[in-house]
Structure formats: structure tokens, C-alpha cells
Amino acid sequence: MKKKRLLSSLVLAGALTVSTIPFNVFAHDELGDVNIEKGERAGYSNVAVPLMEGSKNLQFLHEAATPEMNTVRADGKQNSFADVYAHKGYAYLGTHTRNGGNGGVRVFDMKDPANPQEVAVFANNDIPGTWQEKVIVKSVNTPSFKGDLAVVSVQQLDRNNSDSKGGFLLYDVTNPANPKKLGFYEVTKKTSGTHELYLTMQGNRAIVLAANPYADYYSHGEEKDFQVVDVSDPSNPQKLWEFDPRSLEEIPENFNGYHWNSPDGKVRPVFNHSTMVDETGKYAYVSMWDLGTVIFDISNPENPQYLGRTEYASSQQGSAHSAALAKGGTVLIETREVYVPVKEGFEESYGYTRIFDIKDKTNPKLLSEFKTDLVDNIENGNTFANTVHDPKVHGNTLYLSHYAGGVYAVDITDPANPVQTGQYIPENSNVWGVFVDRNYVLASDMGSGLKVLLKNNSKGLANQGVE
């Protein structure tokens, strides 16, 4: 029986009609269970023009810019686009796999948010046969490097390509218009590379947490999915620690390098999809798919301590995809990327968001589950377009990127009672990422690239936040 919706969604004008045209899938996973990369889909929503609806937040925003994406390939073909990040008035846009990848990271000067200027492209010609989905930029001050450091995920399109390799690149972007390569951290050739990652400071040390899906499976345990890497000297990154799920008392003999015979009788996939760290650099939140969001104390990065994890009802596919924090780190937002909504033994639903009280990090407590208007729409068959993707939090507003659903805004003033307050759907919506910075909200659309949402009364980069 379908689980009863806990929250009602707003009825918005221009409701989506998702195409049933088949889409191409680029998958890391060759084990036949989970595709963690969705690639390009041929069908989009039928929204003809950008749509902005809502009762509180997004009604005060408008689509201020959709800059044309310059082609960076010699053959003139365009790449597709992935995640977006912002730092010190610059936007960093990762790229996906279309036309052979190697699109690198696009850098946009956001001094005038209504007119972003592309000032650089980097990491696009470093390693052939790869793609650069995720970029994190932080100000770093270590004995070996002081400035703004970018870490870029690198994934192989084909592990059988002898010229390619996976891991992450490190660039000096202190001058964003002139990025300089500093180093590369390589993971086993037997896996595709680093999917998502995070950069944090601990005192005078710079630390990267890397998600390397299936590294333990394909390397037969030689390397692990979750790795902690010291990048204090970006030219010489050093692995400090890696995590084996079999080290947990609750897993032991029931985990076979990828498949977990969980206590609820289900065979569940377990791999590291994403990592993030709180503002203190002490706690890590690792999205381990059906093992849930796993929480570590990484204050000693050579010896992190497992604290706890989120759990699922037996009827739920886990699919812990990404995480964000709210309320000073006491509330955890977990997005679940379920894109096969009909699976024997589970509820019929695309992925939705769960919100936890984590004041006691050894015992996360479920506060609420937030569903959009898309997740129960399974009539058109399996399409990842209806699942939630990434979360970002600004104050008491949760922003969710949602592919065909664009960007949703959710009021989480009361985390036990999240309320949808707005939605932005660009033309041919296929929104991968969302990021809040200064007086604008950024979205990244896989097909068309960067979107800038600006307050209606904003002028330039006034010192104001998005409510």
C-alpha cells in the first residue's frame, strides 16, 4: 500500500507533464541494481516559459539571467552541466557527460547577477575521457598554501580507457579568472573515480572527504568508498583514513562488498554517494545509500569515530543521496534519490526528503518527511525526472533541486512541519543543483546551464540575504 502523504503540496499553475520518451543513462553501477548517474533524458516538462510560484519566498525572486554557455570543445559540441557552487562573488559550474565529457568547470563573475560573465574554464583538458561534476571552493590557510582552493571531482567515462583515471583535481582559484592547477589525487583505476566530495578546514589543515562509489567492490577491498584526504599541501594530497562498512557491529557478515542483507530481510545496496561537513569541521555526514546518512566525528581525521546513522522503514528504498544541515547543525536534511519508483517489496514513490533531529548524533530521530507534487506521479513509468536531488539550506528555507520540478523552496521554521512556499521551473527543466549566495539563488540545469534567481528589488551585490 502506498504510504500516506504526510504533507500536502501547493497546487501550482503550469503543472508538469513528464515525457515518456526514453532517455539515455550513463551509469557508474555495472552490478545491475542502482544507476547513480542519470545522464541525459530526451523528454522534459512541457513548461514553455520560466515559472515562478509561491506564497512567501520564491514569489519575491525572478529569473534574472540565463547566460549562454560558451562551447569549450574544439569540435564545437556542447557539454551538459552538473552541480553549481559559489564563493566570493563567483559561480562555479561543473559539467556532465554529454559529447564525451571533459567540459571542466565554468567560472562566472557575479558582480552583476543579472549579467554573469564567464571568465574562465578549468580542469577540462587535464585527464582525457573524464567528467567534472562537483566543485567545492573554500578559503584555505595552511603552511603550504594560502588562498582560495577548488577541489573538482573527476570520473571516468570508461574504466577500460587506459588514458583516463579518476579522483579529484586541486586548483588555485585565488584569482578566479586565472585558475592554476596544483595537484591531483587518484583513486583506484578499478572504480570510476570520485563522485562527490567536500573540502573543510581543521585548524591549519585542509581536509577533503571523497565519495568513491564501489571502490571497495571493484578493488576487492584494496580501497574504500569513503576516504579522508589531507590536502594541506595541494600538490601532494595524502590519504589519512578510509571507511569499511563491515567495521560496524550491525553489518559484519551480512555485507558483501556492495549488497547488504539488512535486518528487515531486504537486500540493500550500500555505497558512498556523497559527503559533507558541518561548519566546525568536526562532524561528517556521509550518504551511504541504503545504509543511510552515516555520521562521523572527524575531529581526528586519522581516526574518525562512527557516531550513528539514519534508518529506513522496511517499505522505503533508502537511496541516501545528499545531506544538508539546519538550525545550527542540530537538524539534518536527507534527500533520497529514488528514480525507480516501482520495486517489489517497497512503497511506490519517487525519492523525497526526510528531516531529522540530530542533537544526539548517535541517535537521529525522524521529525518529518517532505514530498513534492511529483513523487507519487508514477503513471508514466520509471524516469529519474520526478525524484528529489540535492538540498541546500539558507536560514529557515530549504531549497531542493528536483530535475523536472526545478527548484522548490520549503519553510523549515518548524522542521517537524515543513511547508512548501515556492517553486521555480525553467524552460525544459532538468535542474541538477541549487546554491544560495549573497542576494541570489543559483540553479544549474543539465541542458542549459546556469540560472540566476534574484530578488525583485535587488540592485547589484547589496549586502542582503535570501529569506
Q: How many domains does the chain have?
A: 1
Q: Is residue 37 part of a domain?
A: no
Q: What angle do CA 163, 164, 168 make, to 5 degrees?
A: 145
The CATH number for 155's domain is 2.130.10.10
For residue 227, being part of any structural domain is answered with yes
Residue 4 within any structural domain of the chain: no
Q: Is residue 209 part of a domain?
A: yes
- The answer to whether residue 77 sits within a structural domain is yes
276 is a domain residue: yes
pLDDT tens track, the chain, 467 positions: 333 322 222 222 222 222 222 223 333 344 444 444 555 554 444 444 566 665 555 667 789 999 988 887 778 888 999 999 999 999 999 999 999 999 999 999 999 999 999 999 999 989 999 999 999 999 999 999 999 999 999 999 999 999 999 999 999 999 999 999 999 999 999 899 999 999 999 999 999 999 999 888 888 888 999 999 999 999 999 999 999 787 777 665 666 667 888 888 898 888 999 999 999 999 999 999 999 999 999 999 999 999 999 999 999 999 999 999 999 999 999 999 998 899 999 999 999 999 999 999 999 999 999 999 999 988 766 567 899 999 999 999 999 999 999 999 999 999 999 999 989 999 889 999 999 998 899 999 999 999 999 876 655 433 333 33
Residue 290, in any domain of the structure: yes
Full-model pTM: 0.89
- Domain encompassing residue 433: 51-455
Q: How far apart are CA 41 and CA 385, in angstroms?
A: 8
User: Does residue 451 belong to any structural domain of this protein?
Assistant: yes
